[in-house]
Structure 1
């Protein structure tokens, strides 16, 4: 659509400029060539006509014969004393029409124009007096004023359309390519640099280089942040381990305070583990795609929970669903959904897999308490990570959101009756 608008604007500009040029040329030709030429032709024919009248009056037919012999050697002019052959007047072109009007105004005589053949046109002054006289002036070449003008306009329109299309594509194509790569630079983590064509304008090359430098700087900032986060969390693990051991030693003398402190230590350890997971986030997002069966992938994850004593009912289709996915990232998403169902559910967990058209639906559900207020708190806690009733930093939700976005998926949490349902819907076969 952008190319079309640019093409139309350029074409209108070119066509308008060329039509104005044609109009200016027509005006110049009229005043500098056509009008003076018609005046000259009119003067010649009028002078000859007056000479014929004088000779015919003074000398009679013999004088006309001598005059006819004299002018027989003049090119393009013929004097005939016989009645001219009956001919129909030709269709006048703009130039001949102007010649005819000028001659008629100067000579006060009726002028007829005949197309003798495809190569010549005759301007004839015919007098019906006795003896009959016709004076002809032959124009070599068929007058092509109007056809040439029309063909010239058509050629100018065609040339302007080609020029406008070439300029429009040359201007808009590099910009569109740059915009597309810039969107990829913002949306995709595996996008490295923006590349422009060698014949692109210098301004676009400079803009692409600036965007590449900006992306490199942002990647460096993210990398430094992840390294700092990983070092801090690892350094915090050692004092927490010593604190946990010390609390275990004094637990026999002060069990209640020790248990409270141990609970706080475990919570801090959980937070540290989540920060470590966050530091690994980009690594798992950037992992390569793998083609495999989602049925087998889900079965392998469920088997790990079964070995830990967690009962999960699986409902998988008989036909395997093969697709592309990132194993570490998708494993992390399913782990989070199952853990959330275990944490807030009261019954057995159920996992189902279904393919609907080009979409794939992974459903993780569990029974919950019938308390309506608690049910609404579950959804708010999971989707916003802001509820005080359910502790956490919200990093688990951030990780899930990042991985679902990479896999072109949507995650929704709903409650049907006393069942909480986590629905992961992938929008394409490449998830």
Structure 2
């Protein structure tokens, strides 16, 4: 399998490309500005030299002739010939020199830049139009090329060094995170190892830690579920086996007990399957809450012990099966662990609807309240013994969280227990009587 590029190489390449582009643009702009300024400076020198040479040529004395002789040694001479045709375009800096000189003289046609074997600048005399002052141009092309190449090489080395350091600083936290990822998923904190790392790396480490904790919690729940299934199924299966061995199938009362054991097995398996299948794949629909509650109340073994207090219409956006299962479990818990009368109360609370299911039983010890909802945690013996699977509250809590709500559990003032579901209502819908 072909290996892809490392993060370090990608970041390094990106930084190098960005810096080279920035330096190239900056160098081009600064070079152009520098050449323009250089052209203006040399243009002034050209005008000054041409004016001095023209003034000396108009004099007929020994000092003037000596000065002209010195100028000839520096490449400045007088010529009555027309400027020769240029072989190629002059270098930009000489063009800037000619432009600046023509502007200073007030007549750009008086200045001609000739590029032959050596660059020359011809300036027409203002006194004698047939006479030209010829100055040798400085050969800047080779010097410019050499200096530009040297500057680019130096800038490239600096850019490479800076990019390598920056790429190392950016990728080092990721390398540390990758090296300690197994420990992070195992629950170990990497706060010291990631000290000074960018915020994004710390956020990624936190997300990985949370994901690892969820995986560990899921594994613990499955182990606990398997242990609970083994425990919960063992007793009814043992009773069924004993009844079959004793030949109790012919006795009607014994058969009823066997059917009860089978129902208990079916309910335990259904609860376990409901807990494993969290219902997140169920479609989210509009659900009329009072209708669902009415259907569940009609299925109670003694509906007369229940009372509904709430609006006749309250639309929720949720998963119907999960909501029905959560409310049914809370009602089952109230009947199993509490005492009549039972009540279901529904009322609005901001942008949510509050569903309270309460009983008048002995309540729950305060030490146990914080643990309620954990898988296979059954109610206190004072609330009805150890019947049930211990998954009802966990399923209800998960259903509430999937709908964007939460489950609250508390003892009632004056005795009893109340389970409260806070669920968001659909947009534009409010519970009404």
Question: Shorter-chain TM-score category?
Answer: 0.3 to 0.5
TM-score between both structures, scaled by the size of structure 2: 0.46
